[in-house]
Amino acid sequence: MPQTDARTVVTEYVTRIAAGERDAAVALFAEDATWTYPGDLALSRTWHGKQEIFGDFLGQVGTLFAPDGLPAITLTGVLADGPQAVAEWTTVGTAANGTAYRNHCLGVFTVENGLITAVREYLDTHHVAQTLLA
Cα distances (Å, whole numbers) of residue 83 to 4, 106, 119: 9, 17, 12
Per-residue pLDDT of the chain (134 residues; tens, 9 = 90+): 456 899 999 999 999 999 989 999 999 999 999 999 999 999 999 999 999 999 999 888 889 999 887 899 999 999 999 999 999 999 999 999 999 999 999 999 999 999 999 999 999 999 999 999 98
How do beta strands 115-122 and 29-37 pair? parallel
Give the DSSP letter of residue 65: B
Distance, CA of 93 to CA of 128 (rounded, Å): 12
Which pLDDT does position 2 carry in this prediction?
59
Distance, CA of 134 to CA of 26 (rounded, Å): 29
Which pLDDT does position 1 carry in this prediction?
42
Instruction: Residue 54: count other Cβ atoms within 10 Å of its Cβ.
Output: 18
Q: What are phi and psi of 49, to 5 degrees?
A: 85, 160
Residues 131, 64, 118: CA angle, nearest 5 degrees:
100
